[in-house]
Amino acid sequence: MFFKTAKINEFRLWGLLFMLGGMGMMIFGTAGIVFFNNTAGRIFAGAFMVLGSILMLVSVGIYFWAGMMSTSVKTIQCPECSKHTKMIGRVDRCMHCKTKMTVDPSIATDLNDETFEPAAGKQDTVTASAPPQA
């Protein structure tokens, strides 16, 4: 995950980014008509129009997927801010206060779970080898 927010919000953010990217592509393509001569400009604009449409379709797909997911995920009450939030997968963040939450008790103490934030500094609570036993 790339942003420190709830997954459902992140999907919406990606949808928005793809939508803006698609629109930008189309505008960029249209500029080709202005700067090139007639035929080349039309090919240029056509190519970017197609690319832009694909990006728009992807964003619609992401929105659709996020919508479908938000109807099927479990809604829980955040232990931190006691608001209702939606949770996707084993580990997710609260939509309101960004607190990390998990439904798996075995990783509950591991605040830097690798599957959740690969780039974050590691805490050796989970990856460490078994404690020495006397």
Which range, of 37-45, 58-66, 93-101, 112-120, touches Zn ion by CB under 5 A? 93-101
DSSP string, 88-101: -SSEEE-TTT--EE
- Of 24 and 89, which CB lies nearer to Zn ion in the complex structure? 89
Which residues, at least 6 apart from 54, have a Cβ–Cβ distance to it below 8 Å?
22
Query: How far, in Å, are 72, 83, 104, 115 from residue 79 at the CA level?
Result: 21, 8, 15, 22
Determine if 94 is a binding residue for Zn ion (CB under 5 A). yes
Number of residues that bind Zn ion (CB under 5 A): 7
Q: How far is the CB of 130 from Zn ion (least distance, A)?
A: 34
In which element (H, E) is residue 102 found?
strand 100-102
The single residue among 9, 41, 58, 80 that binds Zn ion, judged by CB under 5 A, is: 80
The single residue among 12, 42, 90, 96 that binds Zn ion, judged by CB under 5 A, is: 96
Query: For residues 75 and 60, what is the distance between their CA atoms, to the nearest angstrom?
Result: 24
Determine if 81 is a binding residue for Zn ion (CB under 5 A). yes
Which residues would be at the binding site for Zn ion (CB under 5 A)? Answer: 78, 80-81, 94, 96-97, 99
